[in-house]
């Protein structure tokens, strides 16, 4: 019994989430480090000159100055995680059901598209036509996340001389 669950399926959404988290972690770390190192050294030195400690400088100067890059980093990582197909299909299984239990198998939208387009479904059926609507939904989600990332980046972006 894990967390009160008596049955945990081999392919489940919890393992898929764990693998996706491990997948995007290096990208988040690398891009966040780039955003933080892009903050000019003069801002840090000015903060130290005013008597701030390293912790105060980090939280009151460096992170606010790097906020545009950090927010873009997290939104792009979310976009990448949503776009992953095969990792989630292999880890979560292909159970065509929606469940709130993370220890049961589930199917992603892209997995559904692959299953329907590769199967023996007639071309005029509602199942076949639904994959185009789902493709559009995936495109709109990814496009919206990318636009939001750009908006956050420009919203918090500051020029330093």
pLDDT digits (tens, 9 = 90+) for 10-23: 788 888 889 999 99
Beta bridge partners of 91: none
pLDDT reported for residue 14: 87
47 has a pLDDT exceeding 80: yes
Q: What is the mean pLDDT of residues 49-75?
A: 92
Query: Tokens representing 30?
Result: 């690398």
Query: Tokens representing 140?
Result: 């709109």
3-class DSSP state of 52: coil
CA–CA separation, 157 and 70 (whole Å):
11
pLDDT reported for residue 43: 93
pLDDT reported for residue 41: 94
147 has a pLDDT exceeding 70: yes
CA–CA separation, 106 and 123 (whole Å):
25
> How large a percentage of the chain has pLDDT more than 90?
33
Count other C-beta atoms under 10 Å from residue 100's C-beta.
7
Name the helix (H) or strand (E) containing 13: helix 13-37
Q: Tell me the H-state helices in 50-125.
A: 54-57, 63-65, 67-83, 86-92, 109-118
CA–CA separation, 89 and 66 (whole Å):
35
Per-residue pLDDT tens for 31-46? 999 999 999 999 999 9
Per-residue pLDDT tens for 85-95? 778 878 877 77
Query: Tokens representing 107?
Result: 């199917």
pLDDT reported for residue 153: 73
Per-residue pLDDT tens for 114-135? 888 887 778 888 888 899 999 9
Count other C-beta atoms under 10 Å from residue 58's C-beta.
14
Fold of 13-156: MetI-like fold (1.10.3720)
Report, in angstroms and rounded to the nearest whole number, the Rg of the chain calculated over CA atoms.
Answer: 22
- How do the domains of the chain map onto residue ranges? 13-156
101 has a pLDDT exceeding 60: yes
């Amino acid at each position: 019994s894990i967390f009160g669950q008596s049955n945990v399926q081999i392919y489940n959404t919890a393992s898929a989430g764990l693998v996706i988290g491990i997948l995007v972690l290096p990208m988040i770390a690398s891009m966040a480090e780039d955003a933080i190192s892009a903050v000019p050294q003069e801002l840090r030195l000015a903060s130290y000159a005013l008597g701030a400690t390293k912790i105060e400088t980090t939280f009151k100067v460096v992170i606010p100055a790097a906020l545009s890059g950090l927010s873009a980093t997290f939104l792009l990582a979310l976009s990448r995680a949503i776009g992953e197909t095969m990792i989630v299909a292999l880890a979560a299984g292909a159970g065509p059901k929606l469940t709130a239990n993370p220890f049961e198998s589930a199917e992603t939208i892209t997995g559904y598209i692959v299953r329907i387009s590769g199967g023996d479904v007639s071309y005029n059926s509602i199942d076949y036509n639904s994959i185009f609507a789902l493709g559009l939904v995936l495109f709109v989600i990814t496009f919206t996340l990318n636009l939001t990332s750009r908006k956050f980046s420009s919203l918090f972006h500051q020029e330093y001389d």
